[in-house]
Amino acid sequence: MSDMLLSAAATAVMLVWSQLAHDSRAGMAGLGIALWFPVSVLLYRAMLRWLPMIGGIRAHATAPGAQRRREITASCLLTSALCIIFLASMPLHLALANAVALNFACLAALLDYTEGWMPTYVLVPMLLAGLVNNALHDSANAAILGAGAAWVAVSLALIFLSISLRANFLSGGDMTMATACGAWVGSAHVAMFLLASAVFHWLSCVLLRALNTPPPRHVYLDGPERTWARPMGPSFAVGLTLTLLIQACPVLPHWAQVLSGY
């Protein structure tokens, strides 16, 4: 199936759902998400082409190939599908806020996956949006504590890895994205976010090493050649997504209740 056909089919399904929604406001929001999906595909393709050049990562703008275009389309489709799930399972204002968080996370994860780089002019607005969203819902303190806890935890973990493996794992982009995600999930759910991100990142590292996939960037100082790093942006995006889904789920397993602070 071509990218254009997939986008058209997915948009049509979302449009049908928005018309069948019992809540008129949710239906209108679903219509907006359905229209946003094809726009997001084109927007993310343009950003992945031009932002690395603007940020000095590449000398020239590079158009994404066929495989990269499929990955972008799949990421945008997953993000839009999750937004529809949020609309069906939580109040409208919370669903729309989560949609903003997921789109920021999707863009950052795609940039990290393709370039090993996440620009601060994407991550800082994501952080500020999370703080503002929680402030509007009278949970500004929880957002600040969540952001601080995520920054401290990820920073200490990267410092420990750098010292123990004699390699440079420190990344301002990774720490900033973790902070932004912590602001979105708040202090009550930051432990769940960190655990989900760590487990997914570990599993992806094990899988990619088993497949002998070359690392996207070198991290050696004077350590062994087996020391390497993988982009953490996709792991943070998955951790954020799982945490928001658990918040949206009315019935949680006991372990998820404990980690989420319920």
Report the chain (262 residues): mean pLDDT per 10 consecutive residues. 67 69 69 86 93 87 87 91 84 90 95 89 96 91 96 94 79 93 95 95 84 58 55 94 83 46 46
Q: Are 35 and 7 in contact (CB under 8 A)?
A: no
Within 10 angstroms of residue 60's Cβ, the number of other Cβ atoms is: 6
Residues 6+ apart with CB under 8 A from 251: none
If you search the block for the tokens 């760590």, which residue do you land on? 198
* pLDDT for the residue 262: 44
Burial class of residue 65, CB neighbours in 10 A (0-12, 13-18, 19+): exposed
Nearest to 252 by CA among 192, 203, 199: 192
Q: What distances in angstroms separate CA 217 from CA 171, 177, 220, one per listed residue?
A: 12, 18, 9
DSSP state of 167: B
Within 10 angstroms of residue 156's Cβ, the number of other Cβ atoms is: 10
User: According to DSSP H, which parts of the chain are helical?
Assistant: 3-20, 24-54, 66-89, 92-115, 120-136, 140-165, 172-185, 190-210, 233-248, 254-260
* pLDDT for the residue 144: 96
- One-letter amino acid at 205 equals C
DSSP state of 116: S
Stated pTM of the model: 0.86
